Amino acid sequence: MLNKKKSFIDKIPNWGWLCISLATAILLWYFLSVNERTARVFPFIDKMVVAFKTVTEREILWADIKSSMISVLLGFLFGFLSSVPVAFLMAWYRPVRYILEPWIQFIRNIPPLAYVPLVVIAVGVGRVPQVIVIWIATFLTMTITIYQGVRNVDETLIKAARVLGAKDSDLFIKVIFPATTPFILTAVRLGSSVALTTLIAAESTGAFAGLGMRIRSFNNSYEVEPMLLYIILIGIIGITIEKIIKFLEKKLTGWQETREV
Amino acid sequence: MERNVKVKIDHVEKIYDGRQGKMIALNGVDLDIYENEFICVVGPSGCGKSTLLNIIAGLLEPTSGAVYVDGKKVEGTGTERGVVFQQYALFPWLTVKKNVMFGLKLKGMPEAEAEEIAMKYIKMVQLEDFVDAYPKELSGGMKQRVAIARAYAVQPEVLLMDEPFGALDAQTRTQLQAELIQTWQEEKKTCFFITHDVEEAIILGTKVIVMSARPGRIKTIIDINLPYPRTQDLKMTKEFLDLKAQIWGEVYQEYLEVRK
Ligand SMILES: Nc1ncnc2c1ncn2[C@@H]1O[C@H](COP(=O)(O)OP(=O)(O)O)[C@@H](O)[C@H]1O
Ligand SMILES: [Mg+2]
């Protein structure tokens, strides 16, 4: 019985399952779109095509994607560049760790949406508060991940390098950096995901364009079709970024014993 | 025959300042290791064997006393002293060849020359079919062979090994012992080899040192005058069995001491 089931599951290739999954979702979507109670918020694919035409004609789609991606990229970049040195300092100097870690954990547990207004009051509206909010959120996540990676570097690898003649600078470049690479890449993946989720919060106040801002404005004008389109778009962008980073992880850290994070 | 003292351990004492207070790991260890000797160290776990090896390697500083290599005081690590660890300690992001080349490149040796030397030692440990494999693709025995090749490649004069075969199965261990004896005969080096296996100590060593526990110090030094090349057949001879009984007795006493 169990064997029979297993062979049926394994017979279908991965892409086959992907198609089945997609078909199931579309079917479900269809039912939601015809069901009276849910029809309003789940317009079907044909409506999505119309919505796509509308937003491209209004020349807002590409502007929104561009604006959001600039914010995400800048925020993520600042987050990454600041998290690497802080993570290393925390791993190497205990006072730094003892002072910073509780606060990083504390702030990390506050949803960014909660402090967006504070940032806007502090720096005004526009691009700057968006970048700052994404920066904060990605910085916190990536610092913790990279810090754990640096602390995880196998002590015997450092000893082995030292007895082979490694100086402190060699240790950093030839041992600690490569040993930490998997964690840095994991941090990049988690960070980019946080950047995207935070984006919607970041654009909630006084943005002039952007996917998150536009969803709110569609909400105000009761335009459900383009709203759903934008929501799906955010999902597609998110999964694309994740796939790219996962591909890089495989390429760069294929030497690893299997490890799931 | 005039023999040089290669490594002089001069009244080395090590006190760890741990959470449970001060702990005397080594209490005045004195030992002269002569050139080309193969010293095997046995003793109950926790008696300070690894501590002593790390001090000779320069990875740890003694609380008092000093270690001299060729009359020069040890301060920090040096490539004239190679180390093989029980946990292999291969760099997982480097292939077998790059692992063996690691120390040579640190010396600033050009790529081609480093590669040539690395290949020589990879052949020595019979891994020429695995030069481009990553450590994760190797068995434990193969990993330790790479680690030995990597240590040999920088041509140290003293080779320190901390239970290198401790994690391997009996058959692999026997094979690596034979290979180690052979390499030691081909490229004479002064070896300091820690093990908890009394048979291994007798098969490999020119001398076996029994350490006592709490505090760690040298209890007995036993010369092993069995002829080389030593093979596993030796284990059935009376001389071997007598030595084994004697050393085992000494170690067992210490086990009992520890358990008290
Ligand atoms: N870093 C350390 N801090 C405190 N105590 C240590 C440390 N390293 C080893 N010890 C203690 O010193 C003693 C000797 O350890 P070790 O040299 O590892 O013994 P062995 O290798 O013979 O098993 C043990 O009792 C161990 O608990
Ligand atoms: Mg030990």
- Residue B200 in any domain: the answer is yes
Position B177 scores a pLDDT of 92
Residues B96, B177, single domain; the answer is no
CA gap A234, A239 in Å, rounded:
9
Instruction: Give the CATH number for residue B6.
Output: 3.40.50.300
What is the distance in angstroms between the Cα of B138 and the nearest Cα belonging to chain A? 11
pLDDT bin (cut points 50, 70, 90) of residue A261 is very low
- Residue B243 in any domain: the answer is no
φ and ψ of A237, to 5 deg: -60, -45
Residues B137, B28, single domain; the answer is no
CA gap B86, B84 in Å, rounded:
7
Residues B56, B96, single domain; the answer is no
Report pTM: 0.83
Residues B16, B68, single domain; the answer is yes
φ and ψ of B39, to 5 deg: -95, 130
Measured CA to CA in angstroms, residue A90 lies from A94, A140, A150, A261 at distances of: 6, 13, 9, 21
Measured CA to CA in angstroms, residue A237 lies from A93, A142, A241, B48 at distances of: 38, 20, 6, 57
Q: How many independent structural domains does chain A possess?
A: 1
- Residue B236 in any domain: the answer is no
- Residue A5 in any domain: the answer is no
Whether residue B102 and residue A161 make contact (CB cut-off 8 A), yes or no, is yes
Residues B174, B216, single domain; the answer is yes
- Residue B182 in any domain: the answer is yes
Report pLDDT digits (tens) over A173-198: 999 999 999 999 999 999 999 999 99
Position B157 scores a pLDDT of 94
Position A2 scores a pLDDT of 57
Contacts of A165 in chain B (CB under 8 A): 77-79, 103, 106-107, 154
Residue keyed to tokens 């040298």: B218
- Residue A80 in any domain: the answer is yes
Q: Are B140 and B167 within 8 A, CB to CB?
A: yes
- Residue B6 in any domain: the answer is yes
Strand order of the β-sheet with B21-34 is B21-34, B5-18, B64-69, B72-73
Task: Kindly give, in sequence order, each residue whose CB lies less than 8 Å from that of residue A18, ignoring residues fewer than 6 positions away.
Answer: none
Q: Copy the structure tokens of residue B72.
A: 């020069």
Q: Ligand 1 — pocket residues by CB below 6 A?
A: B 16, 18, 23, 25, 45-51
Measured CA to CA in angstroms, residue A172 lies from A48, A88, A150, A257 at distances of: 52, 11, 11, 22
Whether residue A165 and residue B154 make contact (CB cut-off 8 A), yes or no, is yes
Contacts of A256 in chain B (CB under 8 A): 92, 136
- Residue B30 in any domain: the answer is yes
Q: Which residues constitute the domain of residue A240?
A: 49-252
User: For ligand 2, a single-atom ion, which residues have Cβ within 5 Å?
Assistant: B 50
Q: Which residues constitute the domain of residue B42?
A: 1-80+156-221+248-260
What is the distance in angstroms between the Cα of A162 and the nearest Cα belonging to chain B? 7
Q: Locate the ligand 1 atom nearest the alpha carbon of residue B47 and give its number.
A: 22
Q: Find the CB nearest B103 among A159, A164, A257.
A: A164
Q: Strand pairing of B207-212 and B38-42?
A: parallel
Lowest mean pLDDT among B25-39, B47-61, B101-115, B214-228: B214-228
pLDDT at A3 over 70: no
Contacts of A170 in chain B (CB under 8 A): 106
Position B255 scores a pLDDT of 82
CA gap A219, A209 in Å, rounded:
15
- Residue A183 in any domain: the answer is yes
Residue of chain B with shortest Cα separation from A163: B77
Residues B175, B147, single domain; the answer is no
pLDDT at B237 over 50: yes
- Residue A42 in any domain: the answer is no
Name the residue with the closest Cα to ligand 1, atom 26: B46
- Residue B254 in any domain: the answer is yes
pLDDT at B133 over 60: yes
- Residue B235 in any domain: the answer is no
Q: Are B224 and B243 within 8 A, CB to CB?
A: yes
Average pLDDT value for chain A: 91
CA gap B198, B250 in Å, rounded:
11
Chain A contacts in chain B segment 46-75 (CB below 8 A): 57-59
Whether residue A160 and residue B106 make contact (CB cut-off 8 A), yes or no, is no
Residues B203, B145, single domain; the answer is no
φ and ψ of B75, to 5 deg: -135, 100
Q: How many independent structural domains does chain B possess?
A: 2
**Across A244-256, average pLDDT:** 90
CA gap B156, A15 in Å, rounded:
55
Instruction: Give the CATH number for residue A177.
Output: 1.10.3720.10
- Residue A130 in any domain: the answer is yes
**DSSP per position, A11-25:** HS-HHHHHHHHHHHH
What is the distance in angstroms between the Cα of B182 and the nearest Cα belonging to chain A? 23
Strand order of the β-sheet with B81-84 is B81-84, B158-162, B190-194, B38-42, B207-212, B217-223
Predicted ipTM of the assembly: 0.90
Contacts of B144 in chain A (CB under 8 A): none
Average pLDDT value for chain B: 91
Residues B6, B132, single domain; the answer is no
Give the residue from B155, B175, B207 where a domain finishes.
B155
Residues B150, B172, single domain; the answer is no
Residues B60, B116, single domain; the answer is no
Residues B160, B212, single domain; the answer is yes
- Residue A30 in any domain: the answer is no
Q: Copy the structure tokens of residue A83.
A: 């998290």
Residues B172, B199, single domain; the answer is yes
Q: Find the CB nearest B79 among A156, A164, A255.
A: A164
What stretch of H or E contains A40?
A: none
- The percent of residues above 70 in pLDDT, for chain B, comes to 99
